[in-house]
Amino acid sequence: MHENFQSIPLEEGCESFKESTVAFLRDVIVGQRQIRDDYQELIELTMIILDCPPPTIHWRAPDPVHHARWMAKLLYAMKIILFQDQRDVFNLTKVEESRLQRFVLFGALLYTKLWIAAPLAAEDPGADLQLWIDLGKFEKN
């Protein structure tokens, strides 16, 4: 069941976002930086979504969702997309599937890298500017 997942096909024009994100996440994984469990899960799921899974995947059971925990919503959405072909578990309408895929692509291609790079908003205001630029590029796709 855990091996029966499917990544999202990327829209045209998203390759540069994918390459940048995957390279950054690989550097984080290889580095000696201490990573919290939820950040590790976000990194692994993002790499799976982008069709570059890490050598080892640590599937975690869902935790409670707190309204202030945006990352948890992204983690759940990623898992739903990865296992959406298991129709006995998920029964999404085409509209739900399309919106969920768009949200997950935004998270995987743009937000994960920013989230991991600057866990405290005050640490990297330059990342906010880069996100704004990337959002404009992403919106055109």
pTM of the model: 0.76
Higher pLDDT, 119 or 12: 12
Q: Are 75 and 38 in contact (CB under 8 A)?
A: yes
Any domain includes 25: yes
Any domain includes 5: no
Contacts of 62 (CB under 8 A, 6+ apart): 75, 76, 79
Any domain includes 7: no
Any domain includes 77: yes
Number of domains in the chain: 1
Contacts of 65 (CB under 8 A, 6+ apart): 72, 73, 76
Any domain includes 1: no
Any domain includes 4: no
CA–CA distance, 50 with 67 (Å, rounded to integer): 26
pLDDT bracket for residue 141 (50, 70, 90)? low
Domain hosting 132: range is 15-140
Any domain includes 35: yes
pLDDT above 80: residue 68: no
Q: What confidence score (pLDDT) does residue 1 get?
A: 43
